[in-house]
Amino acid sequence: MKRINIRPLFLCLASLFPLFGNGQTPAQKFEGKILIENGILHTGTGQVIERSYIVVENGKITLVKNALAYTLDKSEFDTVINAQNQHIYPGFFAPNSTLGLTEIDAVRATRDFYEVGEYNPHVRSLIAYNAESSVTSTVRSNGVLFAQATPRGGVISGSSSLFLLDGWNWEDAVRLQDDGIHLHWPGFIKRNWKTVKANEQYTTEREKVNDFFTAAKAYAEDNSKDKSIDLRFEAMKGLFTGNKRLYIHANYIQELLDIIDFSKELTVQFPVIIGGYDSHLITAQLKDAKIPVMLGRVHDLPQRESDDIHLPFKLPYLLQKAGVTFCLQNAGDMEAMNARNIPFLAGTARAYGLTTEEAITAISLSSAKIIGVDKLYGSVEEGKMATLFISKGDALDMSSNKITTVLVDGNFMDLTNRQEELYQKYKRKYTSEEN
């Protein structure tokens, strides 16, 4: 009897799933003047307009007013959307994410976020971004319209880029190329499933990072014409001129204190901490150093037995109360597909201290400021790009987040996706059987 090994066949077929997935047609250019009226507008800046007018022309927001105190001639508009009793939000962000860089976590061929080697600042996520991802279309359905596609692995994993989750290809979707370099700071504590102990090599590993950055800074300051080109150091020049962020992945207090000193010594212009589990313990130092934090996943367990069981839920409130700039992100297991839950992370943070508007800011304007695109995105304000969505209910509550309309740069986005199609398919099936 001939035996067939089905495992390679299964993996081969699984790797083809993205090719047959439901890649949505990007939003087509809308020519005309749009009015969104009567909606409950959450601007992203902390302001709420209970009954609003929003005017969109040529992809930009040209007017935001209280409809109760302002008069418009509706005959001027090509499209009028009545959002009465619905909520309007700026597009939400998924910072520090592999969204767009991976499709099926169990299929290696679809994971394009990890490179070999320890120091890879010249690696770019930019051209690896997959605009045809089927995962992306499900994430957009909850209001997450931006992703900071971020490489992983090594000590320096490379450069991230910010993408609008709409476009024919990465050239269409990118909104900020190579926004920053990602450094994974040496761990002061070593953990595995059995033990937690101090890292005896911490000082050595930290000095190695310092030496690499010192060499990179010297390279950036060397203006001689005959110097040899180093692609790794070329990628890092923007860290010292202010053109790039340095995203430093770290959690524990000793690491965070060392990062503050490290950033000062090397005059890194825009350091950002990613993770920051112990950041609530040194808020004064972070605030003085003007270092923002991309907090780790709110839906997580405490890192120490002595910690408050609710500490991960409370961290956003603790930083908000101390005046530290922060945003929320979702790095961890299955992070690409779970990016759709970012609004609900903000909802949890709201339940543990943040106000509704503070929670919205934590996944919109704060993210935009930290990444560096807040002049165009992150809030619903005059002069910014019209990237926003309308929900029938509270977007931070999974029981009421039901999006009806999405605008991306003033164009109407198609909200269908593979999961929605399956839902409608089997809803019809079982409804017809009941009848």
Looking at per-residue pLDDT, the higher value among 319 and 107 belongs to 319
Alpha helices per DSSP H over 266-364: 283-289, 311-322, 335-338, 342-351, 356-361
Listing DSSP states for 162-191 in one string gives EEES--SSHHHHEEEEEEEEEEEPPPSEEE
Structure tokens at 273: 């901490």
Instruction: Output the pLDDT for position 194.
Output: 67
Instruction: Output the pLDDT for position 10.
Output: 38
In 3D space, the residue among 326, 424, 344, 413 whose CA is nearest the CA of residue 136 turns out to be 413
Q: What share of the chain is helix, strand, coil (3-state, %, to 5)?
A: 35, 25, 40
Looking at per-residue pLDDT, the higher value among 2 and 184 belongs to 184
pLDDT tens string 135-193: 888 899 999 999 999 999 899 999 999 999 999 999 999 999 999 999 999 988 887 76
- How long, in residues, is the chain? 435
pLDDT tens string 346-380: 999 999 999 999 999 999 999 999 999 999 999 99
Q: What is the three-state SS of 37-86?
A: EEEEEECCCCCEEEEEEEEEECCEEEEEEECCCCCCCHHHCCEEEECCCC
Looking at per-residue pLDDT, the higher value among 43 and 435 belongs to 43
Give every CB contact of residue 103 below 8 A, 6+ residues apart in sequence.
17, 18, 21, 110, 111, 130, 133, 134, 135, 336
- 1 pLDDT higher than 80: no
Least reliable range by pLDDT among 6-10, 134-138, 237-241, 429-433: 6-10
- 341 pLDDT higher than 80: yes
Instruction: Output the pLDDT for position 422.
Output: 87
- 19 pLDDT higher than 60: no
pLDDT tens string 111-128: 777 788 899 999 999 999
**DSSP 3-state of 36:** strand
Most confident segment among 134-138, 227-231, 394-398: 394-398
Extents of the domains making up the chain: 20-91+378-435, 92-373
Cβ 381 vs Cβ 364: under 8 Å: no
- 405 pLDDT higher than 50: yes
CATH 2.60.40.10 fits 20-91+378-435, yes or no: no
Listing DSSP states for 193-252 in one string gives SS-EEE-TTHHHHHHHHHHHHHHHHHHHH---TTPPP-HHHHHHHHHHHTSSEEEEEE-S
CA atoms of 62 and 177, how far apart (whole Å): 26
pLDDT-derived band at 224 (thresholds 50, 70, 90) equals confident
Instruction: Output the pLDDT for position 4.
Output: 39
CA atoms of 90 and 346, how far apart (whole Å): 14
Structure tokens at 166: 């709409």
Instruction: Output the pLDDT for position 41.
Output: 97
Structure tokens at 24: 């949505």
Mean pLDDT estimate for the chain = 89
- 18 pLDDT higher than 50: no
Look at domain 92-373 and name its CATH class: alpha beta
Instruction: Output the pLDDT for position 20.
Output: 43
pLDDT tens string 262-271: 999 999 999 9
Instruction: Output the pLDDT for position 433.
Output: 65
Neighbours of 402 (CB within 10 A): 14
Amino acid found at 96: N
CA atoms of 87 and 336, how far apart (whole Å): 26
pLDDT-derived band at 109 (thresholds 50, 70, 90) equals low
Measuring CA to CA, how many Å separate 304 from each of 200, 310, 388? Answer: 20, 12, 39
CA-based end-to-end distance of the chain: 49
Asked whether the CA dihedral 230, 233, 237, 240 is positive or negative, the reply is negative
pLDDT tens string 32-68: 999 999 999 999 999 999 999 999 999 999 999 999 9
Instruction: Output the pLDDT for position 417.
Output: 82
Beta partners for residue 385, in sequence order: 60
Cβ 243 vs Cβ 236: under 8 Å: no
Instruction: Output the pLDDT for position 113.
Output: 74
Cβ 175 vs Cβ 164: under 8 Å: yes
Least reliable range by pLDDT among 53-57, 106-110, 123-127, 289-293: 106-110
Looking at per-residue pLDDT, the higher value among 222 and 285 belongs to 285
- 7 pLDDT higher than 90: no
